[in-house]
Structure 1
């Protein structure tokens, strides 16, 4: 496929996804500008992110540190004038914190005190070394079921983690993130997340972001207050195979 063919394909997909978001907002009585679109580019090349940036996209997400690090650097070489933000949305090990804060503007998968401390320390060091210019925005990933291996803290752990983040100037609490349980009812999951978000905002009014909804369930997420939908397949197509 030529670059122009891929650009046209991505433009069509982007139009369709934005139309879905617009319709979901209309159905929920919300304005379309209340919901950001985050392009999940994992397993896709930096050239796709560059083409999406040409089409107006400014928010991109990755879930593996090494792939992201290389892609962010390649994207910067392809589009040096582009102003975009990169999000880490995958589970993050503490020993990857130092590497992640060098390229990520936002980490959406914070779910433990040890990870908060690792990111705080790594961000402070990166700021001192000139490897980043501003604090790290973070979201608390909330587990909406009892499944293990998908990341996320228990709802009861949200308040103490939020308080811990607010005690440091190196991290900025922006809100919550969640993935609907596999095989579960998205409406139930996202309604629960909405309640958790509302409680968080009572103590931390600046934590207004709700990152929820993907290609298959974004309409449900928007109906329950999502401010950011994370879309990969519907935007870029089926996932490409990657090496372990």
Structure 2
């Protein structure tokens, strides 16, 4: 928020944008269940999160741990669930589990291990401090939906195959799902993907829906499909998205990064 706009004006702007997005969602939803709307607030100030909470937003998404941790500790609004949706380094797991209800970018076995250890440490910390234990961490398995070349498809491991956007190869999902489901403190929530740049989002999300269906054959509770952003939410909803990650259409153009 710039100095030239008052909190009341910013709230009105956010309310109007939020209403437009919710109207799009209602028009695109195929069934009776409404998806979870995650408002992605990266690079926007904590004051915007406070205003969004006052407008009824309960799910907030962040891409970077340093920014997310600072916002989560400074925002006074109650009842917010923080979703970590960016690429996550294993050494940041201990920080993320202190505030996040869900991580949408689990794409390798080493990250499953790190999150499990971090959850165990966080539960011990809370017990020693006389705090309530935290709920299990929801984890979404991020899938790389790009067409794989033979060279890329043969590397394995997931961590390096998705470039900057991350994501495990589809064939890696069964092992990744088994590891997540077997790790105390983690709850296998479902799958997540970003439509590849330049690709038809309809085709990408149809593929993700098929992968979700296969996953549910062995993990019936993993029904979540985290897909759809400002530009392609309608396509995602047509293919069963349960969680939308919307940023610019609600918050406006990103402020300059300093």
State the TM-score, normalized to the length of structure 1: 0.94
The Cα of 1:113 is off from its aligned counterpart by 0.3
Unaligned runs of 5+ in 1: none
The Cα of 1:34 is off from its aligned counterpart by 2.8
Contact 1:59 1:87 in 2 (8 A): yes
Q: Does 1:61 align with 2:61?
A: yes
The residue number in structure 1 matching 2:159 is none
- Partner Cα distance (1:38, 1:23) in 2: 18
CA RMSD of aligned residues (A): 1.1
**Bigger Rg over Cα:** 2
Q: 1:184 aligns with which of 179, 192, 199?
A: 199
- Partner Cα distance (1:71, 1:186) in 2: 32
The residue number in structure 2 matching 1:153 is 168
1:23-172 correspondence to structure 2 within 5 Å: 23-25=27-29, 29-31=30-32, 33-76=33-76, 79=77, 82-130=78-126, 133-145=134-146, 146=148, 148-172=163-187
- Partner Cα distance (2:73, 2:205) in 1: 34
Secondary structure of the residue that 2:198 maps to in structure 1?
coil
The residue number in structure 1 matching 2:158 is none
Q: Does 1:222 align with 2:237?
A: yes
- Partner Cα distance (1:153, 1:30) in 2: 29
Unaligned runs of 5+ in 2: 149-161
Contact 1:127 1:134 in 2 (8 A): no
- Partner Cα distance (1:4, 1:149) in 2: 37
The Cα of 1:169 is off from its aligned counterpart by 1.9
Contact 1:138 1:173 in 2 (8 A): yes
Deviations 1:39-87 (A, max 9, x none): 00000011111111111110000000000000111113xx2xx211000
Deviations 1:127-167 (A, max 9, x none): 11118622211110011014522111001111111101111
Q: Does 1:199 align with 2:214?
A: yes
Deviations 1:179-229 (A, max 9, x none): 000111100100000000000111111101100000000000000110111
Runs of 4+ residues deviating >4 angstroms: none
